[in-house]
Amino acid sequence: MKFVRLAVAAAVMMTPFISHAQFAKPEDAIKYRKAAFTVMASHFGRLGPVVRGERPYNAQEVAANVAIVETMSKLPWAAFGPGTDKGDTRAKPEIWSNEAKFKTASENMVKAVADLSAAAQAGDLDKVKATFGAAGRACKACHDDFRKE
Shortest CB 104 distance to ligand ASC, Å: 18
Shortest CB 11 distance to ligand ASC, Å: 36
For ligand ASC, the binding residue among 26, 29, 33, 44 (CB under 6 A) is 44
Calpha distance 44→65 (Å, rounded): 7
For ligand ASC, the binding residue among 7, 28, 45, 99 (CB under 6 A) is 45
Shortest CB 118 distance to ligand ASC, Å: 19
Q: How far is CA 84 from the centre of its chain?
A: 17
Calpha distance 87→12 (Å, rounded): 32
Shortest CB 139 distance to ligand ASC, Å: 4
Stretch that binds ligand ASC, among 64-72, 83-91, 109-117, 136-144 (CB under 6 A): 136-144
Do 75 and 38 form a contact (C-beta atoms < 8 A)? no
Contact between 41 and ligand ASC per CB under 6 A: yes
- Backbone φ and ψ of 91, nearest 5°: -65, 130
Dihedral in degrees, nearest 10, Cα atoms 51, 55, 58, 61: -80
Q: Which residues form the interface with ligand ASC (CB under 6 A)?
A: 41, 44-45, 136, 139-140
